[in-house]
Amino acid sequence: MFNKSFLKQHSLPLTLALTAILLAIAGDSMTEQLRYHVAEIKAGEIWRLISANLVHLGWSHMLMNLLGLGLIWGLFWNCFSSLNWWLISLASCLGVSLGLLVLNPNLVWYVGLSGVLHGLFVAGAVAAIRRGDRREAILLAAIVAKLLWEQGFGALPGSADMAGGPVVVDSHLYGAIGGAIAGLLLKPLLWCKSN
C-alpha cells in the first residue's frame, strides 16, 4: 500500500504520531519519566528536552496535537525534504525546551507537541513564501497574530479545556521561533506549494 518513497517523505508525522500513541498507551509513569521537568533536566536528564514534546496530558491533548500535525502536514509537507523536516522538528523541540529552561525558570514541568507544531507551521509558511506562494503570508500573519494574542492575553478561550490542563503559551512562541530560524536557514524544495 505504501511504497518506500512515501514512507520516507512522511516519516516525520508517522513517527511522531506512532511515538505519541505508544507513549500514551504506556501511561502516566512513562509521561513522568519523559516530561520536561526543570529539576531533572538540571540534574542531567537532558533527553527530557526532546521527549517532553512527545508526551501529553492525556488522550484528548494528544489527539488534538495529532490532528494539528495532520493539518500542518497536509498544508506544507512538500515544502522541505524529509531530512530538513526532521531538522526543523529538532530545532522546534529545542526552541521550546531551551526557551522554557532559560526564559521561564519557574516553570516546573511541561508536556505536549503544540510548541513543535507552531515551529513546523511557521517553517512551512516561510518556505512557501520563499518559493513565491504569497497566499501563505496570510497564514503566517494569522499564526503571528495568535502568538501575539497569547503573549498578551493568555491561551485562546477553550484551549485549556480541550487540552485537559493548562496551556503553556510560551512554548508556542519558542517553538515558532525555532521553526522560523530553521525554516529560514534550510533550503526549501523548489516545487513547494500548498495544496
pLDDT in tens, 9-43: 999 999 999 999 999 999 999 999 999 999 999 99
CA distances from 156 to 65, 140, 144, 148 (A): 15, 17, 13, 11
The three-state secondary structure class of 111 is coil
- On whether the pTM is more than 0.75, the answer is yes
> In the chain, how long is the greatest CA-to-CA distance?
48
Rounded to the nearest 5°, which phi and psi values hold at 129? -65, -45
**According to the model, what pLDDT value does residue 194 have?**
47
CATH of 4-185, one of 1.20.1540.10, 1.10.8.60, 3.30.1520.10, 3.30.365.10: 1.20.1540.10
Q: What is the mean pLDDT of residues 64-87?
A: 96
Domain-wise residue ranges, the chain: 4-185
Confidence of residue 191 (pLDDT cuts 50, 70, 90): low
What is the residue whose three cell numbers read 500542518?
Answer: 72
96 alpha-carbon distance from chain centroid: 9
**According to the model, what pLDDT value does residue 18 have?**
98
Of 72, 87, 74, 70, nearest to 184 by C-alpha is: 87
What is the residue whose three cell numbers read 531530512?
Answer: 83
Of residues 166 and 124, which shows the higher confidence score?
124
pLDDT above 60 for 192: no
Rounded to the nearest 5°, which phi and psi values hold at 128? -60, -40
**According to the model, what pLDDT value does residue 195 have?**
44
